[in-house]
Chains A and B, each alone.
Chain A
Amino acid sequence: GENVEQHPSTLSVQEGDSAVIKCTYSDSASNYFPWYKQELGKRPQLIIDIRSNVGEKKDQRIAVTLNKTAKHFSLHITETQPEDSAVYFCAANRGGYQKVTFGTGTKLQVIP
C-alpha cells in the first residue's frame, strides 16, 4: 500500500518568513496530492492540491510542487502570518474513490 512520509514534524518561523514542508510517497500510481490544514480540535481543511499532470500550483501565498520522478511533493507558504499556525498534513491517493493516505503531519508555529 501507499506510504507517505512528511518532514519536518515541527516548524517554527518568524512572521513574514517562508515555510516549506516536504513529503515523499511510495506508490507510483498515486496521482492526486492534497494538503490539509488542521487547527486544534477541528476537522482538516483542504488548502491546496495538485494532480500528477502538473508540476506546480499556486494559490496566493500557498504553492505546491510535485516531482513525480522522485516521488516527492512540497508545500510552500510565503509571508507567513500567525493565523497560519496549525498542523499541516500532506496526502496521496490514486484519485477517484480510492483511499487517501496521510503523512504524519507538521506542526507549524508562526511567531509574531
Chain B
Amino acid sequence: GAVVSQHPSWVICKSGTSVKIECRSLDFQATTMFWYRQFPKQSLMLMATSNEGSKATYEQGVEKDKFLINHASLTLSTLTVTSAHPEDSSFYICSAALAGLGELFFGEGSRLTVL
C-alpha cells in the first residue's frame, strides 16, 4: 500500500515560536494532501486541503495565517504553526489520497506540545 511519512512525530516548543511539520508521500505522487487535527478522545477535524502548486483551502474557523501550508512538490506538504500557544497543542495528522480513488493514507502524526 501507499506510504505517507510525517516528521517530527513529537515536538515540544516554547510559546511564541513556530513549528514546521513535514508530510511526505514516499511511493506515490500526491497532488492533494489533507491536514487534520485531533484532540484527545475526539475525532479528526479537517484543517485544510493542500494542493500542489497552489494555495491551500482552509476549513471554516481555521486561521490561515496561523497554520501555514505549503505544498511545493508532488511528494511534500508542510504545515507551519506560527507563534504557537498552549491551545495549539494537539495531534496533527496529514493524509494523502491515492490515484483519486478517495482512499486516504495517513502519516504517523505529530504530537505538538506548546509550553
Contacts and interface: CB of A to CB of B under 8 A. Distances in A.
Is the A/B pair a real complex?
yes
Interface of A: 32, 34, 41-46, 49, 89, 93-105, 107
Contacts of B103: 32, 34, 46, 49
Contacts of A107: 41
Given A97-B32, A97-B97, A100-B34, A44 B102 contact: no
B54 interface: no
Contacts of A101: 46
Interface residue tally on B, bucketed by range: 20 to 34
Nearest to B31: A97
Contacts of B34: 99-100
Contacts, number: 57
Contact of A98 (B45, B95, B102): B102
B6 to A, nearest CB: 8
B83 to A, nearest CB: 27
B47 to A, nearest CB: 10
6 contacts: A34-B104, A89-B44, A97-B100, A100-B34, A100-B95, A105-B42
Interface in B63-99: 93, 95, 97
A103 B102 CA distance: 16
Given A95-B100, A105-B43, 11 more contacts: A34-B102, A43-B107, A44-B44, A44-B93, A45-B106, A96-B101, A97-B32, A97-B100, A102-B43, A104-B42, A104-B43
A71 B113 CA distance: 39
A43 B104 CA distance: 11
B49 interface: yes
Contacts of B43: 89, 102-105
Contacts of B108: 42-43
B104 A100 contact: yes
A63 B32 CA distance: 29
Nearest to A103: B43
B100 to A, nearest CB: 5
Interface in B1-49: 31-32, 34, 41-46, 49
